[in-house]
Amino acid sequence: MRTGAGSMVILYGLPHSLYTGKVRSYLRKRGLAHVERSPAHSDFRAEVVPRIGRAIIPVVQLPNGAFVQDSADIIDHLDRDAPRPGALPEGALQRVVALVVQLYAVAGLTRHAMHYRWSCFDEQSAFLNHAFRASCDETGAQAVMARMAGYLPMLGVTTETAPAIERSYHDLLDVLEGHFALHPYLLGGAPSIGDYALFGPLFAHLGRDPVPSQIMKNRAPSLFRWTERMQAPDADMPEFPDHVPGFLPNDAVADSLTPLLRHISLDLFPVLHDLAAALARHVADHDPAEGAPVTDMPHQRILTTIRTRFRGVPHDSGVQPYLFYLWQKITDSVDMLDGSTRERVTTTLDRHGLGGLLTIARPIRVERRDHREVWGRRIAETRAHPVRAASGNG
């Protein structure tokens, strides 16, 4: 039985949860009345888990009683009826850039977030113990933390990759500092889905946990200020009197984002090539039926493990079906464009080494139904847009 929420959205999440942070920021920025509850709330076990099929956050319960799980799905659902500009820009190039950043935040930046949280545990144990005890007792908190730390190998976080991950984090701080010193948000004077996606790891882990947040404050103060801005209910950009609310006019993307797009290219490839090849092998071996669950159990996050490289360092990595779901949001967005607009978008991606997002073949779609990933239709070898030779790291 729902209690005390009235007509408000109920957000089930936690302060230190990466994906909860993304949704919470959206709810605040859009002025949506909501109440946040932890998984320790009695309604979570009684109502949420039976409906979703597993204990997972974030989940929102809408005023009509419906549940939506997954941060991307939650924002997509809520944004359909939101005032414009919404989280997903209407401009073709801005929309694709925002979706590319969303993919990067999961496929790339989750590695950094988890490395700094768990590889640096001893230096920040008091903070993390306090955070994880918010939703369970000491025994439960220790079990949850051990499970979270156990995801590091799946994400390619090892003693061998750690130096490259830390160099990548420092590089990211530098490129985002350069942008946020000039602009309040990624695409101008309003947050996009790219901002919300970045905010998850850059606040919940890297902007709150003592070790990485201190690095951020010292190296990228404008970026840290952006993490504050993303929690405010208004635009919160007094430092930018010339910026008006809304995305940059004429579908423009600031030149100061160029270093970020090149950074994304460096971090995402060649792993996306290797993930797509693993997906092709899995489909060939198992011939999945359209509509069937992608994994055997709802809580299972990976199909298999592959050998790949991050910035030249070999490591094992889990193949997460969810990444393909986010990836195809990019290709779907490009597929719907007309010829001249499509050429402008694809040329921009090529110029920044991201052309492979459009040209790397994937044999099947991954969709989400009933709060989990399922197999979609097979993808024809020739996509709707012309296949071009990918440039740069793509």
Average pLDDT over residues 5-26: 92
Query: Going by CATH, does the domain composed of 92-259 fall within 1.20.1050?
Result: yes
Smallest CA-to-CA distance from 207 within 190, 185, 222 is with 222
pTM given for the model: 0.93
- pLDDT(301) > 50: yes
> What confidence tens digit (pLDDT) does each residue in 22-31 have?
999 999 999 9
* Domain regions of the chain by residue span: 9-79, 92-259, 268-378
* Cα 30 to chain centroid, rounded: 19
Percentage of the chain exceeding pLDDT 90: 88
- 9-79 CATH, one of 1.10.10.10, 3.40.470.10, 3.40.30.10, 3.30.360.10: 3.40.30.10
Average pLDDT over residues 100-129: 96
User: Taking all residues of the chain, what is their mean pLDDT, rounded to a whole number?
Assistant: 93
- pLDDT(394) > 80: no
35 touches 12 (CB < 8 A): no
- Supply the pLDDT for residue 253: 98
What is the per-residue DSSP string for 235-293? ---TT-TTPPSSBPGGG---GGGHHHHHHHHHHHTTHHHHHHHHHHHHHHHH-PPTTSB
pLDDT band at 1 (very low <50, low <70, confident <90, very high): very low
Q: CB burial class (10 A; 0-12, 13-18, 19+) of residue 194?
A: buried
- pLDDT(88) > 60: yes
Residue 104 main-chain phi, psi, to 5 deg: -60, -40
> What confidence tens digit (pLDDT) does each residue in 321-353 have?
999 999 999 999 999 999 999 999 999 999 999
> What confidence tens digit (pLDDT) does each residue in 153-193 have?
989 999 999 999 999 999 999 999 999 999 999 999 999 99
Average pLDDT over residues 241-248: 92
- Supply the pLDDT for residue 384: 39
263 touches 171 (CB < 8 A): yes
Q: Please state, in angstroms and rounded to a whole number, the distance separating the CA atoms of residues 192 and 202.
A: 15
257 touches 97 (CB < 8 A): yes
- Supply the pLDDT for residue 60: 97
Q: What angle do CA 297, 302, 305 make, to 5 degrees?
A: 135
Average pLDDT over residues 194-207: 97
- pLDDT(242) > 50: yes
Smallest CA-to-CA distance from 276 within 298, 313, 306 is with 306
